[in-house]
Structure 1
Amino acid sequence: MAQHWTHRGGGWLPPRSPRPGVVPLRPLGRRELLGGVLATLGRYGGRLLGALLLGLSAGLLPVAAAAGAATLASVTRTAGSRVFVHTLVPAAVLFLLFAGALATALAAALLRPALLGRPVTVPGLLRAAVPRIPAVLGARLPALTAAAGPGAAALAAGLPPLALLPLAPVALWLAVLFALAPTAAGYEGLGPVAALRRSAALVRGAWWRTFAVTAPAAILLPAAAYALYPGFGLPGALLVPALLLPVPRLAAGLLYADRRLRREQPAGAFAARPEAGGG
């Protein structure tokens, strides 16, 4: 490795890692990951939020339609509750899945420009992110099924909740193991199985670190929805957490870059691939 002379200390030191964007193109420490998320929000947050709002406006349409149907059907309490359960709740779940996939796809589209310090635009981000949503969903749904499937099957079989406790460590381990699959699918365009394998390979040897970065999202977003529901109802409980989704997705994106930099040294590949968010 090439070295350079430093006058401070009077010795030879290796050259500093290049930092064209929000983080250095080298393995990152925990503080650098957090600093990279804050730097990305500071530099690109407005355009990221604008792209997210435009994308979510389309996703809110079926939720609004379901809410209208529930309101019209609420002439009697029984009819209203039936419509709420069978239309509004599934629409809300689909909206949250779409919001998560959109946020992940936007974070994946923003990853390379953020690493390289390149400009982006709202239309450019959307053009890059929207085609990646199916790949992200394709990776997200199997990951959720692998993590929650055993517990759901046990509940469906009528087992008591306490009987599910032995399954909790397995579900948590699988959730963290596949935590980078949606980002890998969005960034590399991988299919579901390939994205799961990619995440498992990148997380191997860094399970606890991945858990420390991704776990706050699993706690804070439902907590925000729960806190907002009494004052703002279902729209606020859905929209505000959806707007917060880019923060953990950016953290997962930088962690994905960190794991690749540690295992594959792809700094040149990040710079060589074509731009995906510019105007």
Structure 2
Amino acid sequence: MNDSPGWASPGPAPSDGRPPENSGGTGPADGAPESMPSEPSGSKWSKEQPPAGQWSAPGSAAPRSHAQTPPRQGWNGAPRGGGWGAPGPGGWGGPPPAAKPGVIPLRPLGLGDILDGSVSTARAHWRTVLGVTVVVAVLVQIAVMLLQRFVLPTPPATTADPGADVNEALRQSVEAAQAELFSTVPTLLITAIGTLFTTALLTVVVSRSVLGRPVSLGDAWREAKPRLLPLLGLTLLLTVGSMAILAVAALPGLLLGSVGGALLSALGVLAASVLVIWLWVRFSLASPALMLERQSIGRSLRRSAKLVQGSWWRVFGIQLLTAVLTAVVSMLIVMVFTFLALLADGGGLENLMKGASAEFGWAFLIISGVGAVIAACITYPISAGVSVLLYIDQRIRREALDLDLARAAGLSGYDTEHSADQTPGS
């Protein structure tokens, strides 16, 4: 795999697990004190012996002995760390920590490693990350503001008629939902395009930071530019496919047009949502595969399915936790700025309190847009970082990608005969 500027490999290479040499004591065997006089062959030790010598801290006045301290026992009799040659933390026999040329160690990653790697990337390359997110988020919010102000109709008031029967109330609810959907879909489409650009550029940044290499905004753009159209096609395929599944599930109930039909549609959408979530997790690593391995759309989907196979619940849990965290952070920021925007736009707040149609002015749109930009600058790098690091983690677990990344990072002790310019994607 070729170590092109768009890729950075994860942290350190795994150790071989061999204990350090010459770790044993130089004193007499079997824990005997050095002062014990030699005895003739065949003699036995006395039953009462002085206690074994202990190691003292460097520089302390306490005398030291080379006798080995017996390992501590756990509750079940198993040896615990802390003694000479004891396995695990605290012992001298445990493997050394994995190498870390960049933001993650080169070993299978835990949830903490993935989240910390995402945050560390944003901190290490904050100029590039802020440049990407601010530029894209500002352009998206400008487009959304102009769309809401001049193109999209004002949503109608949602006050229900208490005298209407069930069918009439259902009809009014459906019409209100259609109007809301009509005004929301263009906004979501613009936001999705902005997210696509951000994800593409931040994927390059994260891949570089894994190898501990610098990356500028220009570097990220040059690496991501050739992959934007395939990434757009992948995003549209997954989005349209999910919407088609939900629409087919809701169609039979909508054709009935009654309360029973509404319930049937709800049940169909609920069942289809389970399938959509399963597919979303199964293909959640297709975007990093497409960007870093330079695969086609079809091969990226197959690569994602192969990497997720057997780890569906783990990938789902990490992606879900990331989505919840970013959603909560984004919601809190947007709520604060929306409240400030309502205070600045008195007419919109008054109409909102009355339940009437709220037509907001420029003050509301600008202030709420600033909140959306700030939320995007915080949440976009985390979401993109988790997706890329999950992809790297699955390849480390399945394909020993950590060895290739160690070679690409130029770590000593690895075979560099095959290509110093190799990237995990090839």
Q: What is the TM-score when the length of structure 1 is the normalising length? A: 0.80
* 1:111 lines up with 2:201 in the alignment: no
Q: Which of 236, 242, 246 is equivalent to 2:376?
A: 242
* 1:133 lines up with 2:228 in the alignment: yes
| Identity percentage of aligned residues | 27
The alpha-carbon deviation at position 180 of structure 1 amounts to 1.0
SS of match in other structure, 2:400: coil
Change (3 A) 1:105 1:111: same
Unaligned runs of 5+ in 1: none
Aligned position for 2:4: none
The alpha-carbon deviation at position 252 of structure 1 amounts to 1.0
Larger Rg: 2
Contact 2:108–2:396 at 8 Å: present in 1 too? Answer: yes
Amino acid at match of 1:106: L
Q: What are the residue-to-residue correspondences of 1:1-279 with 2, within 5 Å?
A: 1=16, 3=18, 5=20, 7=23, 9-10=84-85, 14=95, 16-70=97-151, 89-157=184-252, 158=254, 159-221=264-326, 228=334, 230-231=338-339, 232=341, 235=369, 238-243=372-377, 244-270=379-405, 271=408, 272-273=420-421
Contact 1:138–1:192 at 8 Å: present in 2 too? Answer: yes
Number of residue equivalences: 269
SS of match in other structure, 2:125: helix
Deviations 1:129-159 (A, max 9, x none): 3433322222222223444432122234415
Amino acid at match of 2:369: P
Taking the aligned partners of 1:123 and 1:43, their CA distance within structure 2 comes to 17
Deviations 1:153-212 (A, max 9, x none): 223441521332222322211111111111212222222221111111111111111111
Deviations 1:23-80 (A, max 9, x none): 1122112222222222222212332121222234444454343234238x77xx89xx
4+ residue segments displaced more than 6 Å? 84-87
Change (3 A) 1:273 1:193: same
Contact 1:103–1:245 at 8 Å: present in 2 too? Answer: yes
Change (3 A) 1:144 1:15: same
Contact 1:135–1:189 at 8 Å: present in 2 too? Answer: no
Change (3 A) 1:197 1:106: same
Taking the aligned partners of 2:282 and 2:211, their CA distance within structure 1 comes to 28
Taking the aligned partners of 1:195 and 1:168, their CA distance within structure 2 comes to 23
Contact 1:185–1:191 at 8 Å: present in 2 too? Answer: yes
Q: C-alpha root-mean-square deviation of aligned residues, in Å?
A: 3.4
Structure with the largest fraction of helix: 1
SS of match in other structure, 1:245: helix
Amino acid at match of 1:22: V
Contact 1:217–1:248 at 8 Å: present in 2 too? Answer: yes
Deviations 1:83-127 (A, max 9, x none): x97986343122211122122212320133111111122222233
SS of match in other structure, 2:214: coil
Taking the aligned partners of 1:223 and 1:13, their CA distance within structure 2 comes to 40
Q: What is the TM-score when the length of structure 2 is the normalising length? A: 0.55
Unaligned runs of 5+ in 2: 1-15, 24-82, 86-91, 158-175, 255-263, 342-364, 409-419
Contact 1:147–1:172 at 8 Å: present in 2 too? Answer: no
